[in-house]
Amino acid sequence: MNEKYRLPFVAAVALGAVIVVVAAIVGLGSMGSGAATPPTTQAPSTIPTATSTPVPTSDPRLTPEGTTRAFFAAFSQARKTNDASLVEPYVTSKNSSAYLTASGFLGGAQGVGRASIVTVDRLDNMTSTVAGDTATVDFDYTEGGYDISASSGTALESPTVLPPVRVTATLKLVGGLWLMDSYVTHQ
């Protein structure tokens, strides 16, 4: 395969895996208890609510935006070793769509003997909306880098920066911390 098309090919395969995982999660979620969830009466706000749980002020999980940035930074770092445990502190659970998407991508890369060095990891034009214990964060995501051999660390291609994509992340307030539950990209 031409070196020029390797990263887009791997990205396309990963996107396909993400779509399958998300579809499975949505399908399984729709088979839930059937009990109606009471509607929230709190109006959306762009200001996070205060919590009574003491947390160090440097913890990025104190705000939806901080958690979103930290999750994607950890995901970028995890791509060097395909270690999904690096995103765990920023997700609601290992069963969350966010964790399953990241671990599925990393597992797919590991399965073909690749890892990645991320050289560009940029979240721009970020906006957030908070309604009760749920936050939605929208942003433009730009990433770049190159693939390496997972076993030797040898570069397999030249660095490439991908075009930005719009991302919507959904976070939940759990124990006074904002945690990533899911994210989707929009083309």
Q: What is the CATH number of the domain that holds 107?
A: 3.10.450.50
**Mean pLDDT over residues 41-48, rounded?**
45
pLDDT on residue 47? 45
When pLDDT is cut at 50, 70 and 90, the band that residue 19 belongs to is very low
**Mean pLDDT over residues 138-144, rounded?**
97
* 42 within some domain: no
* 43 within some domain: no
* 38 within some domain: no
Q: Angle between the 64-78 and 97-111 helix axes, to the nearest 10 degrees?
A: 10
When pLDDT is cut at 50, 70 and 90, the band that residue 164 belongs to is very high
Domain region containing 133: 3-26+58-186
* 70 within some domain: yes
29's tokens: 């979620």
* 36 within some domain: no
Q: pLDDT by residue (tens digit) across 75-129?
A: 999 999 999 999 999 999 999 999 999 999 999 999 999 999 999 999 999 999 9
**Mean pLDDT over residues 140-165, rounded?**
96
Please tell me whether the overall predicted TM-score, pTM, comes out greater than 0.75 for this model.
no
* 47 within some domain: no
112's tokens: 């073909």
When pLDDT is cut at 50, 70 and 90, the band that residue 17 belongs to is very low
Average pLDDT, whole number, for the chain?
81
DSSP secondary structure letters along 20-50: HHHHHHHHHHTTS--PPPPPP-SPPBSSPPP
Task: Assess contact for 146 and 114: CB atoms under 8 A.
Answer: no
Task: Assess contact for 139 and 171: CB atoms under 8 A.
Answer: no
Q: How large is the C-alpha radius of gyration of the chain?
A: 18
**Mean pLDDT over residues 151-162, rounded?**
95
pLDDT on residue 107? 96
pLDDT on residue 58? 87
> In whole angstroms, what is the distance from residue 134 CA to residue 94 CA?
18
- Indicate the SS3 state at residue 73: helix
* 150 within some domain: yes
Residue 1 has pLDDT above 80, yes or no: no
Q: Which H/E stretch holds residue 14?
A: helix 6-29
Q: How many domains is the chain built from?
A: 1
* 123 within some domain: yes
